[in-house]
Each structure stands twice: as structure tokens, then as C-alpha cells.
Amino acid sequence: MIPRIALLGNPNTGKSTLFNRLCGLRSKTANFPGSTVEHQVGRCVTKSGQEMDLIDLPGIYSLMLEMPESRLCADCLDGRVGDGRPDAALLVLDANNLSRNLQFAASALRRGLPSVVAINMVDLAERRGLIIDERAASQALGVPVVAVSARSGQGIDRLIEQLTRTAMSSATPNPDKAFPTTEPGSTASAVWAADVFAQIAAHPDEKNDDRMTIHDRLDAAFTHPLLGIVFFVLMMSLLFASIYWLAQFPMEAVDGIFGWLGHGVESMMPAGTLRDLTVNGIVGGVSATVVFLPQILLLFFLLALLEDSGYLARAAFAVDRTMRRFGLPGQAFMPLLSSHACALPGIMATRLIPNHRDRLATILVAPFMSCSARVPVYALLTGVLFAGRPLAAGFAFTGCYVLGGVVGLATAALLRKTILRGPSTPMMLELPDYRLPSIRNALTIAMDRGMLFLKNAGSVILSIAIVMWWLSAYPKSPPNPESVAIELRAVEVAQTDPTAAENLRSQAERLNERTQQSGSFAGQLGAIFQPAFAPIGLDRQLTVAVLTSFLAREVFTTTVFVLAGAGSDADGEDQGTLATVRSATRDDGLPLFTMATSASLLIFFVLAMQCLPTLVVVAKETGSWRWPLLQFCYMTFIAYTAAFFAYRLMS
């Protein structure tokens, strides 16, 4: 049987870096049944081929704290969760902060599991002149101790060797060792740690220098009420500009690959239901999910770099004051900002927030932030609203972002005063040392988050994408008589004017698509739901467009172009296309887009939860469908009410 080893340690001890060093990409994020606190599970393979499963538990300060992470670690060590007690524990201590870390190690060693202690970051300690005596440390603690540097790889081979030996031999800590029975932080524990520290470390005589260090100056700047915010805005602008700019290339590539794949499948398979399902349902559904992957990978890669550098903890303090006014902690700012790129990584990034209520409130308002999928919709509707007035259109575009942000923060304040009422945990954070971030570590984290996204979102989204495809593809409508006539005309002029023939064929195709749209189950649903959308000015066609955009908001523009007979390949910037959309008519001959309808739709799209993948991820992150359902209801209610008033005012 493969031995299971639990990795334990204080936060900022380099535990996860050590885990990544030992397991590489052979790891995955997991949850113990019934727990939302996540941990990593990975496999370490020694040079001799021996395998060990490592469980990277969350970093904690004590096993006795009334916090979910502490309880999870204690339960794991005592075998109350997972597959029973682990075979051994690997305790990771920070060589530069040994006194506090030794107190934690003592409380863990008291549990009696076979253990190995890894004293990490010895390279940094040696630079300060601190020398760790491994032998003395082993004697003092009664378990094997190895000095390592997870970043450079120093001591890793010896650690693996020692870990294998301990896990296989099941040697428990020396029972003669008298560890303090009180918890870390108590006087007895501190005295014991000071005594052990004196035995195992030759430390430099560090003078009590009261002058400001470079660390002090950086901390003062990064957490300054004004300067800190300026730094933060600059840093985030840089981060998101990089994500927008860098992600566009792989996103285009992903889009191209799936387009190529779709065409390939289309040319190989005979026409029919199976081909439609494969091309439009499966390939289209997978593409709709995977296209977000580059943004997610980049976001988590850059966030991991920022976190590793030590900046992120300071930034959280810089924005904490402002966010508290809305009942959110400083750590919520990053996920909310990320949601402007896409709500999915933003919601996944809420894992940085330790308090459950704070995290839930952030998740529930994150979709109010205008994501990149709304951009084509905003571009189309502001273009229709302010034709020939680019400045006004630009203000309206910005206004959409502001409206989403303001309503999101107001909703957060309301949630924290009602259903999520309760004390906010004051932000007491350890500020890690500033250091050069590890690229290797950031890559591992980004890969892990990417895989988690694909696993969590991909499977459900794919199933629902297939259902949505079926709803819009069936029942098949007979060809539109008008399109048949146009096709006949195209055949007639094909010899004399091939371009005109091609245009006629496209026109016929669009007419057929329009007929199919209205005749499909989705179209029929549009007809059924239209009375509900009538008060906000939507006719049957626009109702279909709103309903189909529930899968992904950007689908709205495609549907509108198809309904308006404008083709589906426009990006909202082409004036000719906008003119066609503006001149599109309803079934009763009235204009499809009036000022009132456009304003109402624009507000609806700013505030409504029109994104199925987001709902799926919220369900995964909160561990229940209750929260996404609630979110869908109140966001739709707010959006509908605001759109109703906008429509009435503008009519």
C-alpha cells in the first residue's frame, strides 16, 4: 500500500513550494467529504521507485484554533476525515522564524504520528549567519530533522530518503521527549521553544536597531491610505492589461483550433443529427469553456507571482478600509477586480478570503462586475443607442462598468446586513518577507487551477451546452419559402454575376436560420416567455436572444445579428452591421431597437445573471445549488426592475 503523508506547517513556511518540489505536476486539489476547505494531494516518487502520497494541508498557526482550517488539520491527523490516520507527518518549519515554528511542531508531535521535520529556507537563514544543527535538532525533537531549501532543491534528496524510511518504519516520535502541553503562544510553549532554539541554532547577534529598514519603508508605502491605493491601482492595471493583451493570442488560437476541429468533423461526417450534435453541441460546448482557459491560467500565474513576492498581503490592507464600508474585507478586492475579466476566475480567487461570510458575499456580488463577455453586448447596444455620437457611446460604455460596480457593492452591504449578517473577521495578517517570486511555483499553481476549472466547469457546462444546442436546433423547420425563391434567383444569376449569387445565397441562409430560430424549442420558449419580457420592451425575437444568451452573454450579439438578418460574423464595430441592426424590425413592422428598448436591454445585461458557467462554478465553490439559485433570482429581479424603469422613462 502507498504510504500517506500529511504536510503541516505555519503559513508562509514554503510548505506548498516544498510540496510542489516533491510532487511536481502529479498533484490535484481536493476536499475531504463534507469540508469546503481544500488541500492538495500529490504523489512523490523516489529515485528507487517508491511512491508516497502527500497531503498538503492548509497552513495554520495552531491545531486548536476555532477555524475551519485548524479543525481540518486536527481531524486529518487524528483520522477523523479521509482514509484514516496518515502514515506519517512532514512538519515544515521556517528556519528564519524557528521560535514560533517550533511551538507549532511540538503541538503536532504530541499527536504521536511518525514524523519528519523539514527546516525550510535554510539558504536564507545561512545568509543571515544562522546555522542549524540537524543532529541537535533531531535529538531535541526526537524525530529526524532535515534542513532544506524547497526553492533551490537543497537537501531535498535527503528529505525524501528520510521520509521514505519514516513512513515505512512507522517509528513514532520519541516518547521520552517532553513537549509543552499548552498551545503555541503560551508562556510554557515559548520558553520551551527558546530553549530548543538555543540548542539547535547558532544565531547571529542581531542588534536592536530602531532605524527604518527598507522593509519598513516598502510596508509604509504599500499600505498607505492614498499611496497604497495608487500603487494598487497601478499594479492591477498592469496585471489586467497583461491578461487582456497576452490572453488574446492563446484565446484566438483556441478558437481557431476548435473552428478547425469543427470544420474537420463537419467534412468527415455525413450531414445529419449526429454531425450537428458533434459540431455544434460537443465541439461548440467544449470550445465555449476552453476559450476562457488562457485568461484563467494567466490570472492565477500572475497572482501567484504577486502573492509570492509578498506584495499581495500589503495590498489587502491598502484596500481594506474602503471595502469594509460595504461589508467586504480587503481580500475581496482582487476577486472582484478579476471578475472584470471573467467572473469564473474571480469567483475561484475568493479562496484567498478566510472568513466564510466574507467569501460568500464576494462570490454573490462578483457577477455584477462587467466581464469581457459583456463587451460585445455593450458595444452593440451603446452603438445603437448613440449612433454617430462616439463620445456619448463611450460614456455610456463606462457607465455600464460603474453601474455594475456600484450595484455590486451596494448588494454586498445589503447581504452583510441581512442573510449574511455576522461579525467580519478583522484582518490580522502575517506579512511575509519581500522576495523574488518563484516562476516554477507560479506555473504549478496556474496549471492546478486550470485543471480544476476544466474539471469543475467543463463537465457540467458541456452537458448543458448540448441541451441548449438541442433546444435551439429542434424541431427542424422546413425551408422558408422566401429563401427558396431567393436561392432560385441565385442559381439564375450565378453565371452572369457570381458575387450577387453568393450574396443571395447568404441572404437565403440567414432567412432559414431565422425561421429555424423561431420554430425551435428555444424559439417557442421565447414566444411563451415574451409576455414576461414585454414590460421591459422585448418582443419575441429579443426574448429568444436574451434566453439563448443565458449560456454565454456574447451569444446575444450573434443571435441579434441572425434575427436581424445581418449575419453572425460581425463584431459590433462595423457601422454597416450596426445600421442593419438599427433598421431591423419586429414581426409587426415596428423597429426592433428603439431608444427605450436599447436602454432597457443594456441595463438588463449589466445587472442580470446571464451566465450559466458562472452559476455552475458558484455551485461548486459554495458546495450547494442554493446560493447560485438565490443569486440568479436577486440579480434577475434587480436587472428586471432597473430595466423596467429605464424602459418606462425612455418610452
Partner 1 sequence: MAQPPIRIPLSQLARGQRATVECSALDSLPNEHRCLLAAMGMGEQCEVRVCRPGTPCIVQIDRTRLGLPHGIADRIMVTPIESTSP
Q: Which string of x and - marks every residue 569-608 that binds partner 1 (by CB under 8 A)? A: ----------------------------------------
**220 is a site residue for partner 1 (CB under 8 A):** yes
Give how many residues touch partner 1 by CB under 8 A.
43
C-beta closer to partner 1: residue 102 or 396: 102
- Residue 111 φ/ψ, nearest 5 degrees: -70, -15
Stretch that binds partner 1, among 24-32, 135-143, 428-436, 456-464 (CB under 8 A): 428-436
**Min separation Cβ 281 and partner 1, Å:** 51
Whole-number CA gyration radius for the chain: 30
The DSSP secondary structure of 349-381, one letter per residue, reads GGGG--SHHHHHHHHHHGGGS--GGGHHHHHHH
Q: Are strands 115-120 and 145-147 parallel, antiparallel or unpaired?
A: parallel
**496 is a site residue for partner 1 (CB under 8 A):** no
**Min separation Cβ 104 and partner 1, Å:** 8
Q: Are strands 51-56 and 38-45 parallel, antiparallel or unpaired?
A: antiparallel
Distance of CA 158 to the CA centre of its chain: 37
| Residues sharing a CB contact under 8 Å with residue 586, sequence separation 6 or more, in sequence order | 539, 540, 541, 592
In the chain, the amino acid numbered 460 is V
C-beta closer to partner 1: residue 59 or 450: 59
**Min separation Cβ 96 and partner 1, Å:** 5
Cell representation of residue 146:
532535515
**Binder among 30, 67, 379, 387 for partner 1 (CB under 8 A):** 67
**62 is a site residue for partner 1 (CB under 8 A):** yes
Binders in 121-150 for partner 1, by CB under 8 A: none
**Min separation Cβ 318 and partner 1, Å:** 9
**Min separation Cβ 25 and partner 1, Å:** 32
Binders in 164-183 for partner 1, by CB under 8 A: 183
Alpha-carbon torsion, ordered 71, 77, 78, 83, to 10 deg: 110
Cell representation of residue 119:
527546516
Stretch that binds partner 1, among 240-248, 310-318, 514-522, 584-592 (CB under 8 A): 310-318
**626 is a site residue for partner 1 (CB under 8 A):** no
**71 is a site residue for partner 1 (CB under 8 A):** no
Cell representation of residue 540:
419575441
**Binder among 219, 487, 554, 621 for partner 1 (CB under 8 A):** 219
| Residues sharing a CB contact under 8 Å with residue 536, sequence separation 6 or more, in sequence order | 600, 601, 604, 640, 643, 644, 647
**621 is a site residue for partner 1 (CB under 8 A):** no
In the chain, the amino acid numbered 556 is F
Q: Which string of x and - marks every residue 383-422 that binds partner 1 (by CB under 8 A)? A: ----------------------------------------
Q: Is 149 helix (H, G, I), strand (E, B) or coil?
A: strand
For the chain, the maximum distance between any two Cα atoms, rounded to a whole number of angstroms, is 101
**Binder among 74, 313, 334, 643 for partner 1 (CB under 8 A):** 313
**Interatomic CA distance for residues 2 and 167, integer angstroms:** 10
Q: Are strands 88-94 and 115-120 parallel, antiparallel or unpaired?
A: parallel
**Binder among 30, 41, 131, 190 for partner 1 (CB under 8 A):** 190
Stretch that binds partner 1, among 22-30, 92-100, 259-267, 345-353 (CB under 8 A): 92-100
**277 is a site residue for partner 1 (CB under 8 A):** no
Helix (H) or strand (E) holding 195: helix 187-200
- Residue 565 φ/ψ, nearest 5 degrees: 75, 30
Q: Which residues bind partner 1 (CB under 8 A)?
A: 61-62, 64-67, 96-97, 99-100, 104, 183-187, 189-190, 208-213, 215-216, 219-220, 223, 225, 313-314, 317, 320-321, 426-433
